[in-house]
Copies of this chain bind each other. A is one copy, B any other.
Amino acid sequence: MKSRTVAAILLSCLATTAMADGYGDDRAAIENLQGRYVLAMDFNDPDEYAGVFAEDGVLDWAGGEVVGREAIRKFMMDGVYNLSRNAQAAAWPATTRHFITNQVIEVYGDTAKAVTYWFQVNNNAASREAAYGLFGHYEDELARIDGEWLFSRRTIYNEGIQTRARAGMENPAPEKGQY
Return chain B residues, CB-CB under 8 Å to A169: 43
B9, B19, B32, B48: the one within 8 Å of A105 (CB) = B32
Q: Check B13–A10 contact: CB distance below 8 A.
A: yes
Given contacts A20-B21, A130-B132, A170-B43, contact A10 B7 (CB under 8 A): no
Q: Check A162–B14 contact: CB distance below 8 A.
A: no
Assess whether A69 is interfacial by the CB under 8 Å rule.
no
Convert A25-57 into 0s and 1s, putting 1 for each residue whose CB lies closer than 8 angstroms to a CB of B: 111110110111011100111001000000000
Return chain B residues, CB-CB under 8 Å to A86: 167
Separation of A46 and B128 alpha carbons in the complex (Å): 31
Return chain B residues, CB-CB under 8 Å to A91: 162
Q: Check A84–B32 contact: CB distance below 8 A.
A: no
Determine how many copies of this chain the complex contains.
3
Separation of A72 and B104 alpha carbons in the complex (Å): 21
B20, B44, B103, B115: the one within 8 Å of A25 (CB) = B20
B44, B84, B99, B167: the one within 8 Å of A84 (CB) = B167
Q: Check B31–A179 contact: CB distance below 8 A.
A: no
Separation of A29 and B25 alpha carbons in the complex (Å): 11
Return chain B residues, CB-CB under 8 Å to A14: 13, 16
Return chain B residues, CB-CB under 8 Å to A25: 20, 22-24, 179
Determine which residue in A39, A128, A168 has the highest number of CB atoms from chain B within 10 A of its CB, and name it. A168
Convert A103-123 into 0s and 1s, putting 1 for each residue whose CB lies closer than 8 angstroms to a CB of B: 111100000000101010101
Q: Check A35–B160 contact: CB distance below 8 A.
A: no
Question: From residue 149 to 179 of chain A, which have CB atoms closer than 8 A to chain B?
Answer: 159-160, 162, 165-173, 179
